[in-house]
Amino acid sequence: MKVGVPTEIKSDEYRVALTPVGARELAEHGHDVLIEKGAGEGSAISDSDYEAQGARIVPVEDVWADADLILGVKEPQPEEVGLLRSEATLFTYLHLAPAPKLTRSLCASGATCVAYETVEDRNGRLPLLAPMSEIAGKIATQAGAFMLEKPLGGRGILLGGVPGVPPANVMIIGGGAVGMHAAFIAIGMEADVFVYDTNIDRLRELDIAFGGRASTVFSSVLSIEERLPQTDLVIGAVLLHGARAPHVIRRSQLKLLKSQAVLVDVAIDQGGCFETSRPTTHRDPTFEVDGVIHYCVTNMPGAVPISSTYALTNATLPYVIALADHGIAEAARRSPGLRLGVNVAGGKVTHPAVAEGVGMEYVPAEEALGLGTPSGDGAAGADGAGATASRASPGAH
């Protein structure tokens, strides 16, 4: 199979979807790897690094025209959707639930579009979202601490305080991968940290992980509202798999916060979990609503590509190998977890939460891919997170 890797063209995006490690594994499996000239530069990977592992360096037109499987990081930009062929499979982050226009254009392309963020492992977790969530969580606290500085519009409070002066209060809503890593950094910076989640089992896990250095709180409208007046920094990190983010802070509640408090909405890629959020970029990351600073960058890990590219491709590679070895239909038949990643196929939306988010008809992936009744569910096999490239199949979930 021809596997293509274009350069990411979203604003301030420096990650690349395949490293030389992946190029070598694909070459070892007999695939032809086409890398756009300069695609790795933002992550300090040169064209010759790829060539040394058997890849070919080609112009961007050839990647889109020739590749059967196209690997990306962020969602395709409008000019890229125009290049997507109906026979191709696109494997990248898509975040379609809040993006009806992009969803419609991907349906119109006829291509099969597989979203990293809805692929699940055998435990129902998100192995291809987790590495970027870990990074975004750590950045969320760093960015929040920075934006709290007075010259940047914030309240002018130091996260950790100093002897004789209390630390800042940090509220983290959503204690998944983003929330836990945001909390670890906030704890390390010696803030007072409160993590909110609706999942009691998750709160139990966090309580053990924090070892008493942060508080866990059952998330509800009232419990959030009661803490807002003491809070300096709120990090929003909720997720309902594939769906548009629920609003956990409404505009009417902003007045409960201190003047020039900071909100970091990590869930902005799923539409944002604060009512007043709108997407921003690394170049212009914040805006103010009702005296509250909002930071809503949609590709936070893109700012640290040397960490992010390797964290991402470590996780995606087993799935990439499975897609290249078997093609989308057979790979999805073998792996129900990968099948959950299929968001668009045969011109239809094939993920229920995405269909609901964009208000379009839902068609099961099995039907759109012509798989009939799925078989092999529950079959033995490694999940994607643990598989090595040579154990190519992401297995049963």
Ligand X SMILES: NC(=O)c1ccc[n+]([C@@H]2O[C@H](COP(=O)([O-])OP(=O)(O)OC[C@H]3O[C@@H](n4cnc5c(N)ncnc54)[C@H](O)[C@@H]3O)[C@@H](O)[C@H]2O)c1
Which residues of the chain form contacts with ligand X (CB under 6 A)?
117, 126, 129-130, 132-133, 136, 173-179, 196-199, 202, 219, 237-240, 245-246, 248, 266-270, 297-301
At 266, is the secondary structure helix, strand, or coil? Answer: helix
What is d(CA 115, CA 338) in angstroms, rounded to the nearest whole number?
Answer: 9
Q: How far is the CB of 106 from ligand X (least distance, A)?
A: 18
Cβ distance 277 to 248 under 8 Å? Answer: no
Q: How far is the CB of 300 from ligand X (least distance, A)?
A: 3
Q: How far is the CB of 61 from ligand X (least distance, A)?
A: 29
Inter-helix orientation angle 200-210/177-188, to 10°: 30
Q: For the CA atoms of 256, 258, 259, 262, what is the dihedral angle to 10 degrees?
A: -100
Q: Which of 31, 95, 294, 326 is catalytic?
A: 95
What is d(CA 256, CA 376) in angstroms, rounded to the nearest whole number?
Answer: 52
Cβ distance 247 to 98 under 8 Å? Answer: no
351 annotated active-site: no
Q: How far is the CB of 220 from ligand X (least distance, A)?
A: 8
What is d(CA 143, CA 138) in angstroms, rounded to the nearest whole number?
Answer: 9
Q: Which is nearer to ligand X, 129 or 183 (CB)?
A: 129
Q: Which is nearer to ligand X, 11 or 199 (CB)?
A: 199
Q: Which of 68, 192, 269, 383 is catalytic?
A: 269
What is d(CA 16, CA 261) in angstroms, rounded to the nearest whole number?
Answer: 34
| DSSP of 125-179 | --TTTHHHHHHHHHHHHHHHHHHTSGGGTS----TT-BTTBPPPEEEEE--SHHH
Q: Which residues pair with 367 in a beta bridge?
A: none
Cβ distance 336 to 323 under 8 Å? Answer: no
Q: How far is the CB of 84 from ligand X (least distance, A)?
A: 22
247 annotated active-site: no
Q: Which is nearer to ligand X, 31 or 244 (CB)?
A: 244
Q: How far is the CB of 179 from ligand X (least distance, A)?
A: 6
Q: Which is nearer to ligand X, 34 or 145 (CB)?
A: 145
Q: How far is the CB of 175 from ligand X (least distance, A)?
A: 5
Residue least distant from ligand X (Cβ):
176
What is d(CA 359, CA 97) in angstroms, rounded to the nearest whole number?
Answer: 9
CB atoms within 10 A of CB 170: 30
CB atoms within 10 A of CB 311: 17
Which residues are designated catalytic? 95, 269
